[in-house]
Amino acid sequence: MLNHISTAVIILELRQRINDQLKDPEPQYDGVLSELKHNDLLILDMALPVFTTLTSIDVDAEPEEV
């Protein structure tokens, strides 16, 4: 299902959704992230920069879908 979407796009989207869950008083519903505990979201938020470093993803760049 995600074979035609780059890993960079997936990671950036996940970061945006996690930040939405953590920082927005009325976050968009996400079937998985909405069920996670706040501490688990914080852990994911801290872990994702490691992936961006390992994959040389520019988090400020606009992602392009493949």
Give the single-character DSSP code of 29: P
The span from the CA of 9 to the CA of 59, in Å, is 10
Confidence (pLDDT) at 52? 66
Confidence (pLDDT) at 66? 46
Confidence (pLDDT) at 43? 94
Confidence (pLDDT) at 40? 95
Name 10's Cβ contacts closer than 8 Å, sequence gap at least 6.
Answer: 2
Q: What is the pLDDT of residues 7-58, one digit of tens each?
A: 778 888 999 999 999 999 999 999 999 999 999 999 999 988 777 666 665 5
Confidence (pLDDT) at 53? 66
Q: 25-33, long-range: CB within 8 Å, 24+ apart, which pairs?
A: none
Q: What is the longest distance spanned by two Cα atoms in the chain? A: 33
What pTM value is reported for the model? 0.71
Q: DSSP H helical segments within 1-66, as ranges?
A: 7-23, 38-54
